[in-house]
Amino acid sequence: MKSVLKDLLKQYFLPRWIVLLYDLSVMGSLFIFATYLIVNFSAEKVNLHNIYSQIVVGAIVFFVVYLFIKPHHNIIRHTTLKGFSSIVVAHTIGSTCLFVISIIGRNVPGYAQYAIPYSVIIIHYFISVFILLTSRLFIKAIYHYLFLKPESVQNTMIFGAGRLGMIAYDVLERENNLNYNVVGFIDDNPRLHGKSINGIRVYSADEAVDHILAKKRVKEIIIAIGSWEISRDRKQNFVNSCLEKGLQIKEVADVSAWLKGSLEKVKIQNIKIEDLLGREPISIDINKISDGLNGKRILVTGAAGSIGSEIVRKLLLFNPRKVVLVDIAESALYDFHNELLANFGKINVEIVVGNVSDQIRMRSIFETHRPEIVFHASAYKHVPLMEEHPYEAVKTNIGGTKVVADLSVEFGVKKFVMISTDKAVNPTNVMGASKRICEIYVQSLSQLKGIKTQFVTTRFGNVLGSNGSVVPLFKSQIDKGGPVTITHKDITRYFMTIPEACQLVLEAGFMGNGSDIYVFDMGSPVKIYDLAEKMIFLSGFIPHKDIKIVITGLRPGEKLYEELLSSKEYCKPTNNEKITIGKVRQYDHYEANSKITEMLENLGYEPDEMIVARMKDMVEEYVSQNSKYEKLDLKIAELEYRKIS
């Protein structure tokens, strides 16, 4: 019998019309019962003609009310408090209509058969509501008994007792296959503490963490609160408290679907580490950015990369005349262009496959499109790879920047914005040194008299979710069951989300008159070891038990910590508290240009050691770390090179 019921409940939903007929038949039967009840079931005291007339009228009334209130639209096995309340509302309206009909029957000649006794209406109201609610609860209980095994049910608390929390609760109640048993709400609103919602108590975060979680054997917390209702710091502190208790943390995705009333799209997912590491939404000067971009021809190099692509997405919001996307990665460029067409529709975007270090190709692009603004995001960024291949770092990072910057001057580009990195500060590796030389060249170029192009450099740290960054690497390693690899237990890094970084790039691009290095507020540095542990926890595993963390040792050129300013630099504030101007040493353009030109001209003939030695000669603060180039300087390299030659 149990298996038959299980198969029926699993495969079939009762059609709405059957539920409607059931409800109407129950109400009709109970109307007759209430009529006989008030006369102590004495048949001779009952006027059958009147009862039939009253049942017909009552059925029509409740049928119309049901069509408007729709209590029969709810799936019985998933009925929630909202479904129960719809039954109460429908019967309250229906019974009120019966009272009106009864009054008419008593006072209008010819309608006496509709004078329903008031006591019948009252008794019928309470009994019918009770029976219909009880029958739904019974079916729901049967379904829970058949499909939810006690050992598979997970005690859960919902963080957020507002609108989103209620929707989350409804979803968990409806989707029984999720096997959640909600035992409490957590909310920061003190007016809700101690109260109950749907019969479930609301606790403060402190009370829940200190006592309730253990008492109720809670295994998982579901965060159901909008980003506009809670600060990132508060969310991060709460998550950290829960992780210390060994709890799994999840959150509800696609809040926009809820706001549109589409519960079918709501999903519960593991919380994203990006939501915890990022900071509060950044306030930017939209008017200034809009004035600078509206109707302009814009060229973006490295347009298919993590930063370049996000810059393009944001640029298109400001109605530029044309955006030219330049990248050497043709597949990534093709995919990105298709994404833009799908999301923005008809847009004036040109995709160009080209290498920024190819002067002939880049000149052709400038001649064809005549850009007014250039965002230079093209660069090699992987520290270990560039340490092994300094030729490529110099050719693309330095050579490419020089080509694009020189062409910007030649073709009268109004604004040139270069994307730099915190690794350019006191560099310990080839990649960082190459970016510092890019900074030097761009700044020195802006010092020349008669230059109309405004050169702006933006400097920030690691970007969450960018290609090759640590977060996607850890996610991939966790998905494979580990181990998660870290180069050093004490290594720290600054982090910023991609949208956040690109917002600041746009604002910095239209600050002042150019020639400055704009340094972004990166918040507090994050210990990578702690980040790895947190990501393992958030993925539903226990660090060091389910997934191991392995220390592999610092890679060539890798720092324990990054800086945004060198010891010889200082910052001055801007109108945006998230952006400061780094006051750095000024370089003579002719000296910088001479050294860079010599470096590029000899690039194909000199060994790696000589290439790196030239970089060290140009960047005095460049000190190789954990690298084969540690004891290298230009004089020694030149002597060795002459011996080989």
Question: How many other CB atoms are there within 10 angstroms of residue 9's CB atom?
Answer: 16
Element housing 267 (H / E): strand 267-270
Tell me which residue of 252, 172, 239, 164 sits closest to 209, measured CA to CA: 239
Q: Which are the contacts of 357, defined by CB distance < 8 A and separation ≥ 6?
A: 395, 396, 399, 400, 403
Region of 447 (left: φ > 0; alpha: ψ -120 to 50; beta: rest) is: alpha
Q: Which are the contacts of 532, defined by CB distance < 8 A and separation ≥ 6?
A: 474, 484, 486, 543, 549
Question: How many other CB atoms are there within 10 angstroms of residue 582's CB atom?
Answer: 20
What is the C-alpha separation between 487 and 510, in angstroms, rounded? 38
What is the C-alpha separation between 569 and 354, in angstroms, rounded? 36
What is the C-alpha separation between 406 and 416, in angstroms, rounded? 10
Question: How many other CB atoms are there within 10 angstroms of residue 530's CB atom?
Answer: 12
Measure CA 119 to chain center.
58
Amino acid code (one letter) for 427: P
Active site (catalytic) residues: 423
Do the beta carbons of residue 202 and residue 183 sit within 8 Å?
no
- Token couple for 572: 């001055």
Tell me which residue of 323, 327, 390, 315 sits closest to 362, measured CA to CA: 327
Q: Which are the contacts of 276, defined by CB distance < 8 A and separation ≥ 6?
A: 232, 235, 236, 239, 534
Which neighbouring-strand residues pair with 418?
Answer: 376, 457
- Token couple for 557: 């050129």
Q: What is the DSSP string of 196-209?
A: EETTEEEE-HHHII
First to last CA, the chain: 92
